[in-house]
């Protein structure tokens, strides 16, 4: 979509320059740390995408607590990024911090289960309606492991995903639809296998395409976020999943819901909130309250297939698991999160806050006459540069505008609020106050005012 006339490119560039100068002038300690890190860290950061924030140098954090970050120069920021969902229950939530402290004194990793294992599995089974569980250290690995179990158990090689999806750095999902053709994502580094042989991709909300892709009978599973959240936000059409689920089952494939981000919907994820039942579910990020851990759950029928595949295999490495998976600290963190944070009473104000934010954003956007839309899934909201919510990944991608996003993110940061560096996602945590939301709305209003000024 073309930018409306008010959003002239030169204005975006000029404002970006000004915001970069403003950021740099007020952050000498971050600048010094960035210079020091440049010596020994690739791209000057511990993980290369930490340099993708659009700031002139990397912002360094001194402290993160509740809904707030304090940077090393003493600026306090209201955090709506929340570690891109890892801190959805707030930074260092007290029940998790206490559980970690207690467990740290009693052992951290043993390659054996401790007293939390059964309790965590019971809580997961009860929340997500799936009887069997395994763990991983990240949602990426949980997806990767589950895919391997499914391929092993079914003998079916193909993974089916939706165009524009992201499920972590699982190589198999990086296949895009470009002009109707399936192509390996060009940005993927060092991938030497031809992924399009075993990954099939269709547009979200397209039941005919889904049916055609399932028809050969070789699809092990459909891996999907119930609401796409990584290409901006794409909501399912009313009735899409109600029609897709029996279609997938009829073709002998399994439906895996990756609820890593849609856990923002409530204690049982989007599926529970909407009365949907997938065959398997993947949970990561906020599950450990900020500790790296993830889990995947599945039906009894799938569990029987997984166990049979393992028993029938030659002894040796399965390709599933990592040494520190389900370590004692991770299990203690998940236990605290599941029993003390993933509850309706905790979610209710988060979701109410996100609704206040989404409605406020719609009003601000309308005031400035911009053809943008706002979507919400539970405690998560997103604004997109298109007049109506996109229905699939291609439409969502077409609405993105990297230069405009960079400017908005940086200008908001300079006004004391942080949103995710990728697209325009905002999360509300239990500690986010209505005044924090109003502060974000005021900041968006001020930035859009400058952007649209004649
Ligand atoms: C839906 C979804 N699944 C999986 C992942 C991967 O999570 P992680 O990077 O913690 O492995 C992400 C990360 O953004 C995600 O959005």
Q: What atom of ligand 1 comes closest to residue 84's alpha carbon?
A: 14
Alpha-carbon gap, residue 253 to 217, rounded angstroms: 8
For 362, the token pair is: 């719609």
Alpha-carbon gap, residue 16 to 408, rounded angstroms: 9
* 230 CA distance to ligand 1 middle (Å): 9
77 with 53: CB under 8 angstroms?
no
Q: What atom of ligand 1 comes closest to residue 138's alpha carbon?
A: 11
List, for residues 194-253, the tens digit of each pLDDT value: 999 999 999 999 999 999 999 999 999 999 999 999 999 999 999 999 999 999 999 999
Residue 7 pLDDT:
72
Alpha-carbon gap, residue 237 to 227, rounded angstroms: 10
In the sheet where 219-224 sits, what is the strand order?
Answer: 132-136, 294-298, 280-283, 254-258, 219-224, 158-162, 199-202
pLDDT in tens, the chain (454 residues): 444 544 789 999 999 999 999 999 999 999 999 999 999 999 999 999 999 998 999 999 999 999 999 999 999 999 999 999 999 999 999 999 999 999 999 999 999 999 999 999 999 999 999 999 999 999 999 999 999 999 999 999 999 999 999 999 999 999 999 999 999 999 999 999 999 999 999 999 999 999 999 999 999 999 999 999 999 999 999 999 999 999 999 999 999 999 999 999 999 999 999 999 999 999 999 999 999 999 999 999 999 999 999 999 999 999 999 999 999 999 999 999 999 999 999 999 999 999 999 999 999 999 999 999 999 999 999 999 999 999 999 999 999 999 999 999 999 999 999 999 989 999 999 999 999 999 999 999 999 999 998 7
* 147 CA distance to ligand 1 middle (Å): 15
Residue 124 burial (C-beta neighbours within 10 Å; 0-12, 13-18, 19+): buried
Instruction: Tell me the whole-structure pTM to 2 decimals.
Output: 0.97
Beta-bridge partners for 134: 296
**DSSP track, 114-171:** -THHHHHHHHHHHHHS-SEEEEESSHHHHHHHHHHHHHHHH---EEEEETT---SS-G
Task: Give, using CA atoms, the residue closest to atom 3 of ligand 1.
Answer: 167
* 141 CA distance to ligand 1 middle (Å): 9
Alpha-carbon gap, residue 58 to 60, rounded angstroms: 6
371 with 383: CB under 8 angstroms?
no
| Eight-class DSSP state of 206 | -
* 369 CA distance to ligand 1 middle (Å): 34
* 106 CA distance to ligand 1 middle (Å): 30
* 139 CA distance to ligand 1 middle (Å): 5
266 with 276: CB under 8 angstroms?
no
Q: What atom of ligand 1 comes closest to residue 225's alpha carbon?
A: 1
* 143 CA distance to ligand 1 middle (Å): 9
Residue 2 pLDDT:
45
Task: Give, using CA atoms, the residue closest to atom 13 of ligand 1.
Answer: 168
Alpha-carbon gap, residue 59 to 26, rounded angstroms: 11
Alpha-carbon gap, residue 400 to 386, rounded angstroms: 9
Q: What atom of ligand 1 comes closest to residue 292's alpha carbon?
A: 10
Q: What atom of ligand 1 comes closest to residue 143's alpha carbon?
A: 4
**Tokens 């709506």 identify what position?**
80
Alpha-carbon gap, residue 139 to 142, rounded angstroms: 5
Q: Give residue ranges with CB within 6 A of ligand 1.
A: 84, 138-140, 166-168, 225, 230, 258, 260-261, 284-285
């Amino acid at each position: 979509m073309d930018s409306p006339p008010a959003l002239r490119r030169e204005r975006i560039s000029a404002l970006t320059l000004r915001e970069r100068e403003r950021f740099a002038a007020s952050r000498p300690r971050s600048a010094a740390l960035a210079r020091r890190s440049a010596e020994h860290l690739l791209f000057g950061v511990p993980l290369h995408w930490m340099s993708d924030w659009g700031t002139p140098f990397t912002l360094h954090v001194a402290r993160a607590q509740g809904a707030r970050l304090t940077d090393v120069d003493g600026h306090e920021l209201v955090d709506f990024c929340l570690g891109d969902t890892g801190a959805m229950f707030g930074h260092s939530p007290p029940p998790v911090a206490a559980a970690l402290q207690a467990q740290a004194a009693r052992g951290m990793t043993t390659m054996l289960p401790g007293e939390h294992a059964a309790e965590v599995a019971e809580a997961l089974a009860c929340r997500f309606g799936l009887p069997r569980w395994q763990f991983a250290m990240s949602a990426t690995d949980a997806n990767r492991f589950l895919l391997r179990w499914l391929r092993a158990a079914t003998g079916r090689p193909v993974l089916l995903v939706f165009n524009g999806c992201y499920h972590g750095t699982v190589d198999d999902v990086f296949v895009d639809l470009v002009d109707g053709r399936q192509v390996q994502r060009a940005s993927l580094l060092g991938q030497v296998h031809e992924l399009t042989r075993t990954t099939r991709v269709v547009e979200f909300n397209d039941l005919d395409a889904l049916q055609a892709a399932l028809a050969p009978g070789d699809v092990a599973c459909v891996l999907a976020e119930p609401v796409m959240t990584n290409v901006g936000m794409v909501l399912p059409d009313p009735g899409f999943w109600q029609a897709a689920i029996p279609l997938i089952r009829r073709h002998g494939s399994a439906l895996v819901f990756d609820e890593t981000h849609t856990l923002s919907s409530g204690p049982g994820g989007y599926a529970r909130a909407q009365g949907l039942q997938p065959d398997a579910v993947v949970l990561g990020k906020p599950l450990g309250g900020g500790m790296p851990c993830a889990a995947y759950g599945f039906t009894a029928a799938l569990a029987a297939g997984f166990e049979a595949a393992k028993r029938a295999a030659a002894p040796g490495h399965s390709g599933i698991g990592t040494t520190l998976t389900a370590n004692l600290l991770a299990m203690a963190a998940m236990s605290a999160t599941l029993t003390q944070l993933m509850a309706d009473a905790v979610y209710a104000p988060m979701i109410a806050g996100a609704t206040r934010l989404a409605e406020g954003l719609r009003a601000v956007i309308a005031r400035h006459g911009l053809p943008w839309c706002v979507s919400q899934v539970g405690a998560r909201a997103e604004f997109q540069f298109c007049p109506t919510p996109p229905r699939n990944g291609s439409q969502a991608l077409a609405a993105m505008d990297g230069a405009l996003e960079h400017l908005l993110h940086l200008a908001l940061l300079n006004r004391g609020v942080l949103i995710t560096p990728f697209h325009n996602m905002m999360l509300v945590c239990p500690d986010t106050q209505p005044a924090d939301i109003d502060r974000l709305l005021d900041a968006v209003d001020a930035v859009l005012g400058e952007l649209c000024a004649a």
